[in-house]
Amino acid sequence: MLKRIGASLIVKSKLIVNSYNFKLHLPVGKLNHTINRLQELRVDEILILNTSHSAKPASDFQELLKECNNFKLSTPIAYGGGIESHQDANSVIRSGADRVVISLKTLLNQPAFSKINEVLGEQAIILHLPIDIVGDNVQIFGYEKFSLDQISSKIPTNWGGEILISSVQQDGAKLPNLELFDTCVMQLGRNLKYIFTSGFSTSTEILNALDNDFVSSVAIGNFLHRSELSIRKIKQGISSKIEVR
Amino acid sequence: MKTCLILDYGVGNVESLSNFLRYQKYNVDYGKSRNEILSADLLLLPGVGSFKTAADHISVEMRELIKLRHELCRPILGICLGLQILYSGSEEAETCQGIGIFLGKVERLKDFSRIGWDKINFDKDTELSGKYFYFNHSYAVPHLVNTDRSYKSISGGYDSIVVQKKTLGVQFHPEKSQEAGSDFLKWAEDRVWSMNA
């Protein structure tokens, strides 16, 4: 199974944005152009994270996907934004997503989390943990009362889903914090599978991240929207070290 | 234009499949009646979801209709969960029955899940050799010796394509495998569904 090179698309008000420290969002363009381009460049998967979602995630997702009706969308899509129940999750999948991205809020609602697992299967779920460093503490953005150990205890042993780790400090920066990612893996558990995002812009950084046995994917964010970079170039850059598609 | 009936059992990425099939020149329909299940050019059992949810939505009558379609050598395609539900049962839901075209029990993966791209190990060179397909599963089908054909994925070693008569099950998602997905459907039409039974 190949390690994946994916794209992380942050959406606000139906537009793709460049995100900086989770606070500043600058519009980049329409979803359909970007998805079409990424697909042509053979991106392995696309994560769509909707920051301006409503209480009806499936409707939001359908609205976004409408723009992609004029081409054959045949790339794996994971969608996140307001998914809090199995009904939400199933509706999003039925609308065209292959996996759902849920937040810590949904994990903490353990009956809802269990039901999503039961209905969709573990492999269809990505748990997003945005990591914030406050002083010497590593914590989840917006959930300062919870330690990573406490969060780890809520995730089933040998869970087949994946954990998406992003970093507030590295969001929009041009350098990933691999040490922080390693800390998260150590504290959350080595029996889980991880997707790293935030700050990736070079083949070397991506190779270093994928060198971690527990990392199954790196998702590139803001840097993908710069014209000189393409998924294809990144893949070419790492193809001498690991097998890519 | 051929017709494809997507069996809608409450879970599954039905919109993705519709989009894919329309671009492959299929008229897509949903339905559960006897006539619809038996007469469509292709019956598709979608993926994404748990075994229990799918099994709960497939009635005894529907199970028998799908088996009849299989016996009549009418093309069936099961994708991911849609492949697994063609088996007798699954470790994912011990009390639930599958359709039972393939007599075996679906097993939990030793490494919990396989998510990503992999090649298929064909016995000889085919149009699909060397192509990558997208997988996303946490259970896998057991290898059975009494199928017409089966092929394993390169890295997982699990059966990823299983063929019996004109029933074809795949563990990967052709609809999400980019150009390899279209190549697969052409292969299925030429090498499985067009063959004389």
Report the distance separating Cα A234 and Cα B1, nearest Å. Answer: 40
B137 assigned to active site: no
Residue B156 has pLDDT above 90, yes or no: no
- Note whether A74 contacts B132, CB cutoff 8 Å: no
| pLDDT tens track for A27-76 | 999 999 999 999 999 999 999 999 998 999 999 999 998 888 778 899 99
| pLDDT tens track for B100-138 | 999 999 999 998 999 999 999 998 889 999 999 999 999
Q: What is the average pLDDT score of chain A?
A: 93
Domain count, chain B: 1
Averaged pLDDT for residues B191-195: 90
* Cβ proximity of B149 and B163 under 8 Å: yes
Query: By percentage, how much of chain B surpasses pLDDT 90?
Result: 85
Report the distance separating Cα A165 and Cα B50, nearest Å. Answer: 26
Q: Kindly state the DSSP code that residue B93 receives in the 8-state scheme.
A: B
Which residue of B112, B153, B155, B185 to mutate against A (max A Cβ within 10 Å)? B112
Position A223 in a domain = yes
Averaged pLDDT for residues B63-71: 97
- Note whether B112 contacts A90, CB cutoff 8 Å: no
Q: What is the CATH number of the domain that holds B152?
A: 3.40.50.880
Here the ipTM equals 0.94
- Note whether B116 contacts A216, CB cutoff 8 Å: yes
Query: What does the pLDDT read at residue A50?
Result: 96
Residue B196 has pLDDT above 70, yes or no: no
Nearest CA in chain B to A158: B112
Position A105 in a domain = yes
Domain count, chain A: 1
- Note whether B53 contacts A118, CB cutoff 8 Å: yes
Nearest CA in chain A to B55: A119
Chain A partners within 8 Å of B135 (Cβ):
1
Report the distance separating Cα A90 and Cα A67, nearest Å. Answer: 21
Nearest CA in chain A to B21: A72
Q: Which helix (H) or strand (E) holds B152?
A: strand B149-153
Position A245 in a domain = no
CA dist A178 → A216, B66, B129 (Å): 15, 51, 36
Query: What does the pLDDT read at residue B32?
Result: 84
Nearest CA in chain B to A92: B13
Averaged pLDDT for residues A10-17: 95
Q: Which helix (H) or strand (E) holds B27?
A: strand B26-30
The residue range of the domain holding A64 is 4-238
Position A230 in a domain = yes
The residue range of the domain holding B6 is 2-193
Query: What does the pLDDT read at residue B13?
Result: 87
Residue B19 has pLDDT above 70, yes or no: yes
Chain B partners within 8 Å of A1 (Cβ):
114-118, 135, 155-156
Residue B197 has pLDDT above 60, yes or no: no
Query: What does the pLDDT read at residue B123?
Result: 83
DSSP class per residue in A128-187: EEEEEEETTEEEETTBTT--HHHHHHHSPTT--SEEEEEETTTTT-SS--HHHHHHHHHH
Position A20 in a domain = yes
| pLDDT tens track for A166-179 | 999 999 988 999 99
Q: What is the CATH number of the domain that holds A201?
A: 3.20.20.70
**Any chain A CB within 8 A of the CB of B123?**
no
Position A140 in a domain = yes
Report the distance separating Cα B148 and Cα B146, nearest Å. Answer: 7
Residue A108 has pLDDT above 60, yes or no: yes
Query: By percentage, how much of chain A surpasses pLDDT 90?
Result: 84
- Note whether A118 contacts B20, CB cutoff 8 Å: no
**Strands B2-6, A125-134: pairing kind:** unpaired
Chain A partners within 8 Å of B48 (Cβ):
93, 98, 120-121, 124
Chain B partners within 8 Å of A74 (Cβ):
20, 175-179, 181-182
Residue B151 has pLDDT above 70, yes or no: yes
**Any chain A CB within 8 A of the CB of B136?**
yes
The pLDDT confidence band at residue A228, using thresholds 50, 70 and 90, is: low
Q: What is the average pLDDT score of chain B?
A: 94
Tokens of B53: 């949810």
Q: Which helix (H) or strand (E) holds B60?
A: helix B60-71
Query: What does the pLDDT read at residue A113?
Result: 98
Position A244 in a domain = no
Which residue of A35, A41, A87, A93 to mutate against B (max B Cβ within 10 Å)? A93
Q: What's the residue count for chain B?
A: 197
Sign of CA dihedral A175, A176, A180, A183: negative
**Strands B42-45, B26-30: pairing kind:** unpaired
**Any chain A CB within 8 A of the CB of B81?**
yes
Query: What does the pLDDT read at residue B171?
Result: 98
Q: Which helix (H) or strand (E) holds A15?
A: strand A15-20
